[in-house]
Amino acid sequence: MGICSSAVVSPETSASMVHEKGGAPQPILYLTQKEKELLKKHYRETLIAQRPDIYHKTMLSCINSSPKMNEIIACQQYCMRDLTQWPKLNKMW
Specify the pLDDT at position 88. 61
What is the arithmetic mean of pLDDT over 2-6? 38
75 Ramachandran zone, left/alpha/beta (phi>0; psi -120 to 50) = left
Altogether, the residues listed in the chain come to a count of 93
Q: Which tops the pLDDT comparison, 32 or 22? A: 32
What is the arithmetic mean of pLDDT over 19-24? 58
Render pLDDT for 33-82 as a digit per residue (tens, 0 to 9). 999 999 888 888 888 889 888 888 888 888 778 777 766 666 555 565 66
- What is the residue extent of each domain of the chain? 32-92
Measured over the CA atoms of residue 8, residue 35, residue 44 and residue 89, the dihedral's sign is positive
pLDDT > 90? residue 3: no
The pTM score is: 0.39
Q: What is the 3-state secondary structure (H, E, C) of the chain?
A: CCCCCCCCCCCCCHHHEEECCCCCEEECCCCCHHHHHHHHHHHHHHHHHHCCCHHHHHHHHHHHHCHHHHHHHCCCCCCHHHHHCCHHHHHHC
